[in-house]
A and B are shown apart, each in its own frame.
Chain A
């Protein structure tokens, strides 16, 4: 097995970085690892900045009491250098405007399920590999 990368927890939160490519460019996104999210997510202003094209709108459930409408954008999502999906969801999570990026972005199972992800909570490390 090849160990691809190791990330550190940030403020007790498992985080990692993925790369997002859109019409207006690409950027590295720092996000919270969220195995409860079926789809990775970014805030909508980021989608606008990258010129992502809107694919559709879907219903989402989860922490919000009622289902919410979530935009789905076309975007190339790379994790560990590998193209993992062509879409990403856009939704403004209920965090403050000054929240750090990793609190506004999620890496969901659409990305995580393509790798082996190990969380070492004691050492505050995330090991990712592609066996």
Chain B
């Protein structure tokens, strides 16, 4: 379980959530391959076909709290997805 953002700095919280995503990556890839998964406090709170879909579903559950949304793909297939 990841501590809440009020107990950690935002950077520490984000780092912890990303570590948690990495720990779960293999399981998430098996279960939700290619989907966007949102993790909050170490738990999967939403899954969607797009970043926005997953984030919006998460917002309905956790509100406007920090969380990470990542694509469930093997590490080597991961790409930065925000093309500016």
Residues of A within 8 A of B65 (CB): 53
CA distance in complex: A93, B84 (Å)? 9
Inter-chain contacts of A55 with B (CB < 8 A)? 55, 64, 66-67, 69
On A, residues with C-beta under 8 Å from B are 23, 36-39, 41, 53-64, 67-68, 70, 74, 85-87, 89, 91, 93, 106, 110
A89 to chain B: closest residue by CB: B82
Q: By DSSP majority rule, is chain B's interface helix, strand, loop, or mixed?
A: mixed
Name the residue of chain B whose CB is nearest to the CB of A62: B84
Q: How distant is the Cα of A91 from the Cα of B10 in the complex, in angstroms?
A: 17
Do the beta carbons of B55 and A57 come within 8 Å of each other? no
Residues of A within 8 A of B83 (CB): 36-38, 60-62
Chain B: interface size category: 20 to 34
Interface of A is mostly: strand
- Expressed in whole angstroms, the Cα–Cα distance for A39 and B83 within the complex equals 7
Query: In residues 54-84 of chain B, which contact A (Cβ within 8 Å)?
Result: 55-56, 59, 64-69, 80-84
Q: With A54-B10, A54-B66, A57-B14 in contact, is A86–B82 under 8 Å at CB?
A: no
Bound Cα distance A129, B83 (Å): 25
Which among A38, A56, A70, A91 is the interface contact of B68 at CB below 8 angstroms?
A: A56
